[in-house]
Amino acid sequence: MIAGIDIGSRSMELVVLDGDKIILKRKLPTTFDPASQIKKIMDGVKVDLISATGYGRKLMTEELTGTPCTSLTEIKAYALGISHLFPEARTILDIGGQDTKAISLFKNGKVAKFEMNDRCAAGTGKFLEHLSTVFQIPIEDFGSYALEGSEPLQINSMCTVFAETEATSLMAQGKNPHDIALGLHGSIVRRTTNMLNRVGLVEPLVFAGGVANNSCVIKMLQDSLFINPLIPDEPDFAGALGAALFGRSQQKIL
């Protein structure tokens, strides 16, 4: 059996493969003590190899887990995971907790080109999470809250701090808060659309990562790109699945 784990800045996901079958999935927040969280998510899991990806993949060591470990980049993990779920995929958009990735694929699923924003939280899940607290709306409901707006207001800054200032200023002017939230979602979609165009958007497009659970971002992507992105049933787990598939290939080599 092989475990794939995606250790992101906001959450970590685990997928365990027994041959071709997924026999276990788990998810935990990463917190400020990821080593302890790794032990929790691996509790009771007995596998032959652990394959790690994500922001904290270098934390996953045999000394920590008592199991041989390997690792791979997030770009490669997402390409493997998405190509397994959607063999026809040619472009991937992943908006995670603290970075955004646009990846173009060859027909065989190999990475052709990618662009990654990992320098700040602008346009990521963290951006939405922070601003949902300004509206006092649970992050799970922020997308549907924004979709109640009808006229998205222009938000010029992608910086989380400055965007909050703009949103607060618009609230003080008496603007419809649903329209403000719609504008904030629109700023993310404009940024990600530009990234997709720079890597060469070819359909089918697969939207993965935690923000793929946000109904407003999905709707605005559809309206902006005039296409319907494919979305995995559990978009958060695509990277962990890719890591597990990579681990399986390494086990065959070993």
Over residues 104-127, the pLDDT tens digits come to 999 999 999 999 875 656 667 788
The residue among 250, 254, 214 whose CA lies nearest residue 231 is 214
Cβ neighbors of 64 (< 8 A, separation 6 or more) are 35, 38, 39
Region 3-10: mean pLDDT is 92
Residue 87 has what DSSP assignment?
T
Residue 123: per-residue pLDDT: 66
Q: Are 224 and 187 in contact (CB under 8 A)?
A: no
Mean pLDDT score, 76-104:
94
Predicted local confidence at residue 55, as pLDDT: 85
Give yes or no for residue 161 having a pLDDT over 80: no
What number is the average pLDDT over the span 96-103? 88
Phi, psi of 16 (to 5 degrees): -115, 125
- Token duo for residue 43: 């509790």
Asked if 166 and 157 count as a contact pair (C-beta separation under 8 A), the reply is: yes
Cα–Cα distance for residue pair 147/214, rounded to 1 Å = 10
Mean pLDDT for the chain? Answer: 90
Per the CB < 8 A criterion, the answer to whether 77 and 103 are in contact is: no
For 60-85, what is the mean pLDDT? 91
pLDDT of residue 214 exceeding 90: yes
Residue 236: predicted pLDDT: 93
Both tokens of residue 3?
């475990």
Cα 133 to the center of its chain, rounded Å: 20
What is the share, in percent, of the chain residues with pLDDT greater than 90? 65
pLDDT at 84 over 60: yes
3 state DSSP class of 244: helix
Please determine, for residue 63, whether its predicted confidence score (pLDDT) is greater than 80.
no
Mean pLDDT along residues 10-17: 94
Confidence at 219, pLDDT banded by 50, 70, 90: very high
